[in-house]
């Protein structure tokens, strides 16, 4: 009796394992973009450098073929970043990118710098475009917090 039951259990276990492997679909998890620093002194005139940090909370690598970001500080539109360059992220990793921008409200930035502000509240709206095989996926996100008003820290 036991000799018949053991092969049947092994066969059933193998069948369940194979069925489980074939029915899994992968869904992209959390990808976050945040403002690392806003450096108004990095470029002349009404320009600045905004450093964004991208965080991949997935266990697989992720890449975006392009991204668009809108940055607000203290509730006022500051800049728009239109990045046509790909961004690649290793599994469970972060990377930073510095983007030169034209300031939409340079007077606000000058006022904050004149007041000696070193941190500001920000809101970042992001749309990142990912291509998987022939399908394009848009990943939208919004983050807010506090960021440095000055050069980004060295890594």
> And the tokens for 80?
């728009």
Exposed / middle / buried, residue 109 (Cβ in 10 Å: 0-12, 13-18, 19+): buried
Asked whether the predicted pLDDT for residue 14 surpasses 70, the reply is no
pLDDT, residue 29, reads 74
pTM: 0.80
Q: Which helix (H) or strand (E) holds 83?
A: strand 76-83
Structural domain count of the chain: 1
The reply to whether 14 falls in a domain is no
The reply to whether 125 falls in a domain is yes
CATH number, position 145: 2.60.40.1820
Percentage of residues in the chain with pLDDT exceeding 90? 69
Asked whether the predicted pLDDT for residue 25 surpasses 80, the reply is no
Contact 147, 52 (CB under 8 A): no
Write out the residue range of the structural domain in which residue 129 sits.
26-149
Asked whether the predicted pLDDT for residue 44 surpasses 80, the reply is yes
pLDDT digit string (tens) for 98-151?
999 999 999 999 999 999 999 999 999 999 998 877 788 898 999 999 999 999
Mean pLDDT computed over 25-39:
83
The reply to whether 134 falls in a domain is yes
Asked whether the predicted pLDDT for residue 23 surpasses 50, the reply is no
pLDDT digit string (tens) for 83-94?
999 999 999 999
pLDDT digit string (tens) for 49-72?
999 999 999 999 999 999 999 999
Can you tell me the distance from the alpha carbon of 79 to that of 51, in angstroms, rounded to the nearest whole number? Answer: 12
The reply to whether 11 falls in a domain is no
Asked whether the predicted pLDDT for residue 6 surpasses 90, the reply is no
Under the phi-then-psi rule, with left for phi > 0, alpha for psi from -120 to 50, and beta for the rest, what region is 34? beta
């Amino acid at each position: 009796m036991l000799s018949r039951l053991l092969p049947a259990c092994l066969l059933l276990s193998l069948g369940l394992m194979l069925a489980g492997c074939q029915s899994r679909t992968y869904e992209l998890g959390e990808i976050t973009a945040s403002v690392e620093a806003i450096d108004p002194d990095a470029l002349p005139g009404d320009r600045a450098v905004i450093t964004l940090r991208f965080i991949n909370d997935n266990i697989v690598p992720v890449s975006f073929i392009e991204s668009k970001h809108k940055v607000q500080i203290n509730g006022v539109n500051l800049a728009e970043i239109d990045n046509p360059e790909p961004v690649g992220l290793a599994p469970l990793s972060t990377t930073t990118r510095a983007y030169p921008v034209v300031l939409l409200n340079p007077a606000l930035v000058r006022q904050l710098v004149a007041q000696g502000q070193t941190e500001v509240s920000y809101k970042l709206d992001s749309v990142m475009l990912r291509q998987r095989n022939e399908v394009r996926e848009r990943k939208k996100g919004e983050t807010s917090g506090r960021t440095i008003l000055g050069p980004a820290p060295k890594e």
